[in-house]
């Protein structure tokens, strides 16, 4: 089982456990909103573009709100079964969904009191490192300083070339969460104090 399928299954189980009104790390979203986001991303080709294109966001938000009101078991089942064959994501599941589902699984896990990082898993970490090297260049593209990402085993990638670079050290999953702006990640920043402050204050993502 690839990472995308494993994280989708685990998140679906967690959705069932916590219910539709649990908090997430996605600002303003409960679990019902996050589940609706995942469903329209994979199943509504008319609404998915608005996730990344501001001019189309209004339609996306309306469609997502409608899905969020569906019966919880139905919504979770749509997440669990994954993208249908007519969706491009069905054919690109691991490439397109491994990072998405890992991050959103942690968005629910880490919104709960007393969360702990998951134990390291070599296979999962390899897949996350691959996803990190792709996502980090996009997510740190606005950084005014250089950004180097480093894992404890010595793996390293440059996410952004620039002056007075900052090195962020952590396990691959923690680095990935930090790259997506999740403050609940366990990473360490090192570098010039002004550079670290600038990087910490920078908006991540699209």
pLDDT band per the 50, 70, 90 thresholds, residue 128: very high
pLDDT tens-digit readout, 60-114? 999 999 999 999 999 999 999 999 999 999 999 999 999 999 999 999 999 999 9
Q: Which stretches of the chain are assigned E, i.e. beta strand? A: 147-150, 156-160, 166-169, 188-190
CA angle 11, 13, 14 (to 5 degrees): 60
**Local structure of 155: helix, strand or coil:** coil
Say how far apart CA 52 and CA 111 lie, in whole Å: 24
Tokens 């996605």 -> residue: 26
* Cα dist from 172 to 45, 70, 108, 110, 141, whole Å: 31, 35, 19, 16, 19
Question: Region 126-136: what's the mean pLDDT?
Answer: 94
Q: Which two tokens stand for residue 142?
A: 């606005």
**CA 195 to mean position of chain CA atoms:** 25
pLDDT tens-digit readout, 141-193? 999 999 999 999 999 999 999 999 999 999 999 999 999 999 999 999 999 99
CB 159 within 8 A of CB 148: yes
Task: Give the chain's domains with CATH numbers.
Answer: 3-109 (no CATH), 122-200 (3.30.1050)
Q: Which two tokens stand for residue 94?
A: 């691991």
């Amino acid at each position: 089982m690839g990472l995308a399928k494993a994280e989708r299954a685990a998140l679906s189980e967690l959705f069932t456990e916590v219910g539709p009104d649990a908090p997430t790390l996605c600002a303003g979203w409960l679990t019902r909103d996050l589940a609706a986001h995942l469903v329209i991303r994979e199943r509504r080709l008319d609404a998915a573009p608005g996730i990344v294109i501001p001019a189309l966001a209004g339609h996306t938000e309306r469609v997502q709100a409608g899905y969020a009101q569906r019966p919880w078991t139905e919504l979770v089942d749509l997440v669990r079964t994954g993208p249908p064959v007519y969706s491009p994501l069905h054919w690109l599941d691991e490439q397109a969904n491994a990072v998405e589902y890992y991050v959103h699984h942690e968005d629910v896990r880490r919104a709960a009191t007393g969360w702990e990082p998951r134990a390291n898993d070599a296979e999962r970490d390899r897949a996350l490192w691959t996803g990190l090297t792709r996502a980090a260049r996009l997510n740190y593209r606005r950084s005014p300083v250089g950004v180097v990402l480093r894992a404890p085993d010595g793996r390293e990638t440059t996410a952004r070339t620039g002056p007075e670079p900052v090195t962020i050290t952590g396990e691959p999953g923690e680095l990935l969460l930090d790259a997506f702006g999740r403050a609940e990640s366990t990473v360490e920043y090192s570098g010039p104090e002004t550079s670290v402050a600038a990087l910490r204050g920078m908006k991540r993502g699209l």
